[in-house]
Amino acid sequence: MTSTLTGERADILELLRAHRGFLRHTVQNLTDEQARLRPTKSELYLGGLIKHVTEVERSWADFIRNGRKFDAYDEAAFAEQAATFHPTDEETLESLLAEYAAVAERTDEIVASLPDLDLSHLLPDAPWQEEKGQRWTVRRALLHVVAETAQHAGHADIIRETIDGQKTMG
């Protein structure tokens, strides 16, 4: 279905798929133990980045389909967000990547099937917003997912290079 897309939707998906691919490439051939290493001063680690990007994409896809799930950020919302960086002991790199692929497939279907990228929803109020009652279009939410994925793919590349010298690019 998505292979016949053209224009803006095709461009968004191509860019998102490229950055997903960079992130997946960065963790290839790692053990679960390596995916849990924190070789830099950062609290980030590769398994946590995969889980976080998956949850970010899932939550924005839900936003696109259903609108905001809460009115304003509170301690519970911040805690839920922080937890996305930490896989459980039962989550392996393989299971995290499988879930990421499933979420990516659902997002791609949304991009292909929504009638209008200008559809918008209210954002939850957040301390970093200058004004309350902001709305984001589907397009803006998807571009945010692309940016978030690209940013964390870069973080992952630095962490992987620190672990064993492998670079995603360059």
CA dist 150 and 163 (Å) reads: 20
Find residue 121's DSSP bridge partners.
Answer: 136
Which one, of 14, 13, 87, 11, lies nearest residue 54 by Cα? 87
pLDDT score of 73: 81
121-154 confidence digits (pLDDT tens): 999 888 887 888 899 999 999 999 999 999 999 9
36-54 confidence digits (pLDDT tens): 999 999 999 999 999 999 9
Please provide the CATH number assigned to the domain covering 2-164: 1.20.120.450
Q: Which two tokens stand for residue 108?
A: 């791609």
Q: Where are the alpha helices (DSSP H) in the chain?
A: 7-26, 32-35, 46-66, 75-83, 93-113, 138-164
CB 124 within 8 A of CB 72: yes
Which one, of 156, 170, 150, 114, lies nearest residue 30 by Cα? 156
DSSP three-state, residue 136: strand
CA dist 114 and 18 (Å) reads: 21
pLDDT score of 51: 98
Which one, of 76, 82, 72, 80, lies nearest residue 122 by Cα? 72
Give yes or no for residue 59 having a pLDDT over 90: yes
102-123 confidence digits (pLDDT tens): 999 999 999 999 999 999 999 9
